[in-house]
């Protein structure tokens, strides 16, 4: 089944290569169709589509960061803390360096400087998590939980818990701009991040190493890879992506605060898992994560169309969707494994190795 056959149509080949992505796309189309059919006048309005495209990038970019860490078998729970700390640092810098009424060119150059500062803060935060994980072998979930508290704590100490506002108006104007009437800047940034990380994971040596570390860290070490260095780089990447999210968030609300986006952490983990990233490491693609982000944005924007349905149904749906997807994938894998076993016993030698070793459920 996974053998690529020349006679197969391109679609069949695509399905065979990444069945999970294919299922996600079907789900995306289904959700879109249902929402569009139920509320055609509101949901399909261009302004609604544009506003959805403005909303998902800020947590979508974080989800990509978490996904890279999950592919190595870790997790980064510090993304939100990193995002806020980076945003607050940049906000403080911009407020201090750009007095009211500064010329546009000067403001713009300071904003670029601010973005660089944010990315640096993000990289440093990621480096701290990565250092704790690779050097001291602290389990990633705890190390990043600790650094999350630390970063959020620092952000609270810097701001004394108050929002930092009074940013140069140009910043939020740039961040909320819609290019050519349909392309919001956040979406553009998301696309940029997704493409860069996508290429990094699928085409570069570093990407291959990330998957290898996630599949079997010991084997990777014996294969001569510098596992510590690779893990370090994944968390630095995640931190930089998180700081980018922080900037988008800061542009949207025109201020920075220590506790913005507190619910994003779990949301991002859900997205990553829904997108087919294996929390035990070794599997996952940026494409899958992207489709999952869009599905969840469609669901939550769709729910907003119904005035009498509380926003909190979103949580029910997310939890429900996650569990349903897990169970469906389980049975599909099971089915595929049986089929593969059967064809293997017929002497075809189908590649079933990666599915082997999973005992059928309830065999205990």
Partner 1 sequence: MNTTLQKMSRRTEPYILGAIIALSLLIQARSGQFFTGNNLVDLARSMTVPGLFAVGAMIVIVSGGIDVSFPAIASLSMYITTKILLAADYSGPVILAYIIGGVLGLLMGLFNGVLIGYFRFPTLVVTLGTSSLFIGIMQGVLAARELPVPPAMFDHGTAKLFSAYNTQLGLSSDMPVQILLLVAVLAVTAFLLRSTMLGRGIYAIGGDEVSAKRAGFNVFGTKMFIYGYVGVIAGIAGIARACMMRNAHPTNLQGIEMIIIAAVVLGGTRVTGGVGTLTGTMFGMALMTIMSNSLILLGIPTYWQKVFTGAIIIIGTGVSARQAMAKRAKPRKASPSPSKAPQSQEASK
Binding residues (CB under 8 A) for partner 1: these are 75, 77, 132, 136-139, 141-143, 145-154, 156-157, 160-161, 262, 266, 269-270, 273, 279-280, 309-320, 322-323, 326-327, 330, 358, 361-362, 364
Question: Which is closer to partner 1, CB of 25 or CB of 270?
Answer: 270
What tokens appear for 351 in the block? 């590649």
Looking at the DSSP assignment, which residues form a beta bridge with residue 255?
165
Question: Which is closer to partner 1, CB of 154 or CB of 188?
Answer: 154
Question: Which is closer to partner 1, CB of 195 or CB of 219?
Answer: 219
Question: Which is closer to partner 1, CB of 17 or CB of 330?
Answer: 330
Cβ burial, residue 156 (10 Å; 0-12/13-18/19+):
middle
Using alpha carbons, list the distances in angstroms from residue 137 to 81, 228, 234, 244.
21, 10, 15, 28
* String of DSSP letters for 37-91: HHSHHHHTSHHHHHHHHHHHHHHHHHHHHHHHHHHTT---TTHHHHHHHHHHHHH
* String of DSSP letters for 303-314: HHT-TTS-TTHH
CB of 125 to partner 1, least distance (A): 12
Question: Which is closer to partner 1, CB of 111 or CB of 145?
Answer: 145
Residue pointed to by tokens 């729970």: 77
Question: Which is closer to partner 1, CB of 173 or CB of 335?
Answer: 335
Question: Which is closer to partner 1, CB of 53 or CB of 220?
Answer: 220
Which candidate, 157, 56, 78, places its Cα nearest to that of 123? 78
Q: DSSP H helical segments within the chain, as ranges?
A: 10-17, 19-38, 40-43, 46-71, 79-97, 104-136, 140-159, 169-175, 185-203, 205-215, 217-222, 227-253, 264-274, 286-304, 313-345
CB of 221 to partner 1, least distance (A): 14
CB of 184 to partner 1, least distance (A): 27
How many Å apart are CA 201 and CA 286, to the nearest integer? 8
CB of 196 to partner 1, least distance (A): 27
CB of 134 to partner 1, least distance (A): 11
First-to-last alpha carbon distance for the chain, in angstroms, is: 29
* Cα dihedral: 131, 137, 142, 148 (round 10): 0
CB of 273 to partner 1, least distance (A): 5
CB of 203 to partner 1, least distance (A): 28
CB of 195 to partner 1, least distance (A): 27
């Amino acid at each position: 089944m996974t053998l690529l056959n020349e006679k197969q149509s391109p679609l069949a080949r695509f399905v065979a290569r990444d069945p999970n992505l294919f299922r996600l796309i079907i789900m995306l189309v289904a959700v879109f169709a249902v929402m569009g059919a139920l509320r055609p006048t509101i949901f399909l309005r261009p302004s609604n589509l544009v506003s959805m495209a403005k909303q998902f990038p800020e947590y979508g970019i974080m989800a990509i960061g978490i996904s890279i860490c999950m592919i190595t078998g870790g997790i980064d729970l510090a993304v939100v803390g990193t995002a806020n700390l980076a945003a607050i640092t940049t906000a403080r810098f911009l407020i201090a360096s750009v007095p009211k009424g500064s010329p546009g060119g000067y403001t713009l150059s300071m904003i670029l400087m601010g973005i660089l500062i944010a990315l640096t803060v993000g990289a440093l935060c990621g480096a701290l998590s990565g250092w704790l994980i690779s050097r001291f072998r602290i389990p990633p979930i705890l190390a990043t939980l600790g650094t999350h508290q630390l970063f959020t704590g620092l952000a609270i100490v810097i701001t004394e818990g108050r929002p930092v506002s009074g940013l140069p108006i140009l910043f939020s104007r740039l961040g909320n701009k819609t290019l050519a009437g349909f392309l919001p800047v956040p979406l553009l940034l998301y696309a940029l991040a997704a493409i860069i990380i996508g290429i990094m994971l699928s085409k570069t040596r570093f990407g291959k190493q990330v998957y290898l570390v996630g599949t079997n860290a010991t084997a990777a070490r014996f294969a001569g890879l510098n596992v510590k260095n690779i893990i370090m780089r994944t968390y630095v990447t995640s931190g930089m992506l998180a700081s980018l999210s922080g900037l988008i968030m800061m542009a949207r609300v025109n201020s920075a605060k220590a506790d913005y986006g507190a619910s994003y952490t779990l949301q991002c983990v859900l997205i990553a898992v829904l997108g087919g990233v294996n929390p035990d490491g070794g599997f996952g693609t940026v494409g899958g994560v992207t489709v999952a982000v869009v599905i969840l944005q469609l669901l939550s924007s769709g729910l907003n169309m119904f005035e009498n349905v509380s926003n909190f149904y979103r949580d029910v749906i997310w939890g429900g969707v996650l569990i349903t997807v897990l169970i469906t994938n389980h049975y599909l894998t099971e089915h595929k494994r049986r089929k593969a076993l059967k064809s293997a016993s017929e002497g075809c030698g189908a590649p079933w190795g990666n599915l082997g070793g999973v005992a059928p459920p309830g065999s205990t």
